[in-house]
Amino acid sequence: MRVHYSPLYCDTEVAFDTTRKAHAIAASLTQQPIRRARLVMPESATRDHLTSVHAPGYVDAVLTGSPRDLAVSNDLPGWDEGLARAVCASTGGVIAAALHALEHRTVAGSLSSGLHHARYASGWGYCTVNGLAIAARAALDAGARRVLVLDLDAHCGGGTADLIHGHDGREGHRRHRGLDGVEQVDVSVDPFDYYGTHERTRLLLTDGPRYLQTVQTALDGIEDPASIDLVLYNAGMDPHEKCEGGVAGISALTLDRRERTVFTWFARHRLPVAWVLAGGYTNHLSMSDLVNLHRLTIGAAARSVWASS
């Protein structure tokens, strides 16, 4: 299983878990390999990739740092040229994982995060560009007809929903090019970036005691899985009770069961899947603890490839 990663993902002075944890996870995969998981360096995304779903003016602000207020609209603590390189490298990893999974009908991933809150013309919630929407656009351009975004981050994926439906939630719902053929299923435990009801999206807000059952309900409610050409799986670990946005009752064991459930469902339907890391924070966890949480996704993904081969 290809796990896309480049040191450029973290090559920025802007220090935050989103810009740091990929390096620690990659190091863990070198020191403690997961069977069938292999690190692969992707090509960085281009400006054209970013403008396939984002406003050109916003993309240029991300790449150049000007105007400053737009460049830092992601809520991260600052901007530098390294952040622009990191965003392009990380987004390139999502695209590469998606296209590899689509072409080979397999499972692939990227150690990318900070994706699902970014809007058409701005960042938000520690997300600079929406790598999920960009990868979905690339998959559609490569021939996919039905792409499912499964979002299990603690927070709602409002940026993805707005991009799918051609809105910009932070700019008065102005219309822009949407993503026909893309749908979203979102299970959240925190209403941050709540997007209400959209056509082709399904949002389920839940709590700790009902979490695993809600995830299963979400999977069971997906119609005609056999017609899905690609799943983009936003595998957040921030529902964990010690993470920002997490809730009591969701432990590492809960999240391990969630990953086993999700990847078993993918394997049963033999779906091509590209997974990414999504949320997970060290405010009340060590980096080692956080790495081990994200390794749950990688391990479950690798086992699902083995089971379906």
Place of tokens 């013309």: 121
CATH number of the domain encompassing residue 279? 3.40.800.20
CA atoms within 13 A on the CB side of 233: 27
The percentage of residues in the chain with a pLDDT greater than 70, rounded to a whole number, is 96
Mean pLDDT value across residues 236-255: 96
Cβ within 8 Å of residue 51, ≥6 positions away: 59
Give the pLDDT band (50/70/90) at residue 196. confident
Q: Which domain range does residue 220 map to?
A: 2-308
Provide the domain count of the chain. Answer: 1
Cβ within 8 Å of residue 223, ≥6 positions away: none
CA atoms within 13 A on the CB side of 199: 7
For the cut 80, the answer to whether the pLDDT of residue 211 exceeds it is: yes
Q: Measure Cα distances from 45 to 96, 153, 154, 155 in Å.
A: 9, 23, 27, 26
102-114 confidence digits (pLDDT tens): 999 999 999 999 9
19-77 confidence digits (pLDDT tens): 999 999 999 999 999 999 999 999 999 999 999 999 999 999 999 999 999 999 999 99
Give the pLDDT band (50/70/90) at residue 168. low
| Among 180, 149, 78, residue whose Cα is nearest residue 158 | 149
User: Can you say how many angstroms the Cα of residue 218 is from the centroid of all Cα atoms in its chain?
Assistant: 18
Cβ within 8 Å of residue 286, ≥6 positions away: none
For the cut 90, the answer to whether the pLDDT of residue 305 exceeds it is: no
